[in-house]
């Protein structure tokens, strides 16, 4: 079952780029959060998307939101990716795809490529936006729009 608007973000844990266990309960339900699933580190569209989140990260922080990027790449891959592109937000390794399954993120391109889906949840942990598109940069614009609307 795919998460939809009005659902509560499921609890999850995963290793972050600092080698620490990230527990979603430490953030979700306390502040707005943007969780984006992407196919693979160091590919053109995924890099463009991550760098766009990086370039707009202060805007997300100003709106009180945290950004979390998730893919099934290894922790080692994430550490290199975050370092190379100076990514300031949380990157999580979902190598067993448990988080992807919990959110119900679909595969794209005839089921061959892990999907690119962004979720925005309010400070109560309720999903207020689900955006599914293989185009990377547009996710950032959509997430910022919904967060700004929440504050209005």
**Phi, psi (rounded to 5 degrees) for 107:** -85, 155
User: What are the φ and ψ backbone dihedral angles of 119, each rounded to 5 degrees?
Assistant: -115, 135
DSSP assignment of 64-130, as one string? Answer: T-EEEEEESS-HHHHHHHHHHTT--SEEEE-TT-HHHHHHTPPEETTTTEE--EEEEE-TTSBEEEE
CA-wise closest residue to 4 among 130, 143, 100, 139: 130
Catalytic: 51?
no
Q: Are 149 and 29 in contact (CB under 8 A)?
A: no
Of 9, 28, 46, 121, the catalytic one is 46
Which residues are designated catalytic? 46
């Amino acid at each position: 079952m795919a998460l939809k608007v009005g659902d509560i973000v499921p609890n999850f844990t995963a290793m972050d780029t600092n080698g620490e266990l990230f527990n979603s309960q430490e953030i979700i339900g306390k502040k707005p959060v943007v969780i984006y699933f992407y196919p693979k580190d160091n590919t053109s569209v995924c890099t463009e998307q991550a760098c766009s989140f990086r370039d707009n990260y202060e805007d997300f922080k100003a709106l009180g939101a945290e950004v979390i990027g998730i893919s099934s790449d290894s922790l080692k891959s994430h550490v290199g990716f975050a370092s190379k592109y100076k990514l300031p937000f949380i990157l999580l390794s979902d190598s067993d795809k448990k988080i992807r399954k919990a959110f119900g993120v679909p595969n794209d391109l005839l089921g061959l490529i892990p999907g690119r889906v962004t979720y925005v949840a309010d400070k109560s942990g309720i999903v207020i936006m689900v955006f599914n598109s293989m185009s990377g940069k547009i996710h950032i614009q959509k997430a910022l729009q919904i967060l700004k609307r929440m504050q209005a």
